[in-house]
């Protein structure tokens, strides 16, 4: 009597969590025993999702939030009108179908401190409740994870294992390759099978996964073109993707021998096969963008926008080229540190002399 009640409860529980309209009847026959066990297992797995991150579609952990993405891009990213447009559209397009043709691959290019890591974080936060802390976000920083050129072949094998195993666990995984320009030459080709137009490889479907490549490649050429356009009197906001796209494509090939970068995309199969879906240029930031970043940093610490602090931060940055001093050499990088330094300094000062 008691047992059967537990049994019924169990079935109700399972059917409630959406898994087993069939399992009640199944439970009656002997052959249904394994079906029931499977249903219970699936049910328990689902219950686990209440407390622990999991990858079932349409749980709060992995439900994409495009509003969050557009808000973050709009409010927290400065001076990158092209990035805002393309990233949002590309991601929405990829998520809109349950059967994408291939994995989404976006390559972020441009000068340091323009916000590439920032945008990668926003993408992670829009895909997973835990953002960058999610088990389904995998970040590789080339100098850290792949420092030795002579180990390229071993890195390749490891990387392929990681990608395969992680996508097996969750189809919609996010892979971020930071400083991909410093990756040993040829290594990136290890990723090719996973982002190509295959329905599945050994039963694993990679088409829902998302790859972000971050690099400085093309940054110098983007800046040069920006200066030309500026001299022609063109507004920053009027610059279009078509003004820069050719540069990035060529830059990815050509900068191998420049002393600035050693592009990991150089002669890469990815480019020959056009497996990168979007090349996204990050423009060099100007003084007023630095001021906005400083203001943002103050707001993040619940401080009012102190004009003197903002001005000091902007003054301390290095600008180039020498003649026009138009662009910040390090973008908004280190703005946070400068702000905290100035604030700490003020507080000590007040304490000593008040």
Ligand X SMILES: *[C@@H]1O[C@H](CO)[C@@H](O)[C@H](O)[C@H]1NC(C)=O
Query: Which positions lie near ligand X, rule CB under 6 A?
Result: 65, 67-68, 71, 138, 161-162, 165-166, 220-221, 247, 250-251, 254-255, 258, 260
User: Which is nearer to ligand X, 153 or 161 (by Cβ)?
Assistant: 161
Rounded to the nearest whole angstrom, what is the least distance from the CB of residue 10 to ligand X in the complex?
31
| Distance in angstroms between the alpha carbons of the first and the last residue of the chain | 79
> Is residue 175 within a helix (H) or strand (E), and if so which, with residue range?
strand 174-178
User: Which is nearer to ligand X, 23 or 268 (by Cβ)?
Assistant: 268
Give CA–CA dist 335/338, Å, rounded.
Answer: 5
Rounded to the nearest whole angstrom, what is the least distance from the CB of residue 324 to ligand X in the complex?
19
Name the burial class of residue 96, with classes exposed (0-12), middle (13-18) and buried (19+) by CB atoms within 10 angstroms of its CB: exposed
Q: Which one, of 185, 181, 179, lies nearest residue 149 by Cα?
A: 185
User: Which is nearer to ligand X, 279 or 294 (by Cβ)?
Assistant: 279
Rounded to the nearest whole angstrom, what is the least distance from the CB of residue 42 to ligand X in the complex?
21
| 3-state SS class at 354 | coil
Give CA–CA dist 90/70, Å, rounded.
Answer: 12
Rounded to the nearest whole angstrom, what is the least distance from the CB of residue 267 to ligand X in the complex?
16
User: Which is nearer to ligand X, 75 or 322 (by Cβ)?
Assistant: 75
54-59 contact pairs (CB < 8 A, 24+)? 55/136, 55/169, 55/170, 55/171, 55/172
Rounded to the nearest whole angstrom, what is the least distance from the CB of residue 145 to ligand X in the complex?
8
Rounded to the nearest whole angstrom, what is the least distance from the CB of residue 261 to ligand X in the complex?
8
Q: In what order do the strands lie in the sheet with 278-282?
A: 137-141, 174-178, 210-215, 104-110, 278-282
User: Which is nearer to ligand X, 138 or 338 (by Cβ)?
Assistant: 138
Q: Are 320 and 329 contacting, i.e. CB atoms less than 8 angstroms apart?
A: yes
User: Which is nearer to ligand X, 34 or 258 (by Cβ)?
Assistant: 258
Rounded to the nearest whole angstrom, what is the least distance from the CB of residue 36 to ligand X in the complex?
30
Per the structure block, which two tokens stand in for 147? 């420092």
User: Which is nearer to ligand X, 17 or 141 (by Cβ)?
Assistant: 141
CA atoms within 13 A on the CB side of 284: 26
């Amino acid at each position: 009597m008691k047992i059967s009640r537990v049994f019924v409860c169990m079935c109700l529980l399972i059917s409630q969590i959406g898994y087993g309209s069939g399992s009640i009847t199944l439970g009656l026959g002997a052959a249904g025993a394994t079906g029931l066990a499977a249903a219970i297992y699936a049910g328990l797995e689902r219950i686990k999702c209440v407390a622990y991150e999991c990858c079932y579609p349409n749980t709060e952990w992995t439900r994409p939030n495009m509003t969050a993405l557009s808000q973050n891009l709009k409010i927290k990213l400065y001076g990158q009108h092209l990035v805002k447009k393309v990233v949002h559209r590309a991601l929405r397009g990829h998520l809109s179908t349950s059967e994408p043709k291939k994995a989404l691959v976006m390559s972020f290019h441009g000068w340091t401190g323009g916000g590439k890591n920032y945008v990668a974080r926003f993408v992670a936060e829009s895909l997973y409740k835990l953002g960058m802390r999610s088990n389904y976000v995998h970040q590789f920083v080339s100098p850290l994870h792949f420092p030795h050129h002579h180990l390229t072949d071993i890195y390749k094998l490891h990387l392929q294992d990681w990608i395969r195993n992680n996508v097996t666990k969750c189809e919609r995984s996010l892979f971020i390759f930071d400083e991909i320009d410093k990756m040993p030459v040829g290594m990136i080709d290890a990723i090719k099978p996973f982002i190509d137009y295959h329905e599945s490889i050994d039963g694993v479907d990679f088409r829902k996964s998302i790859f972000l490549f971050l690099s400085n490649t093309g940054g110098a050429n983007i800046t040069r073109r920006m200066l030309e356009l500026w001299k022609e009197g063109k507004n920053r906001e009027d610059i279009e993707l078509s003004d820069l796209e050719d540069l990035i494509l060529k830059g990815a090939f050509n900068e191998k021998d420049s002393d600035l970068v050693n592009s990991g995309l150089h002669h890469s199969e990815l480019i020959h096969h056009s497996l990168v879906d979007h090349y996204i240029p990050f423009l060099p930031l100007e003084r007023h963008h630095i001021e906005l970043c400083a203001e943002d940093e103050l707001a993040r610490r619940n401080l009012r926008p102190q004009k003197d602090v903002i001005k000091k931060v902007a003054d301390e940055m290095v600008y180039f080229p020498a003649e026009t001093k138009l662009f910040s050499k390090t973008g908004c990088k280190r703005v946070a540190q400068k702000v905290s330094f100035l604030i700490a300094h003020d507080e000590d000062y007040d304490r000593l002399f008040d």
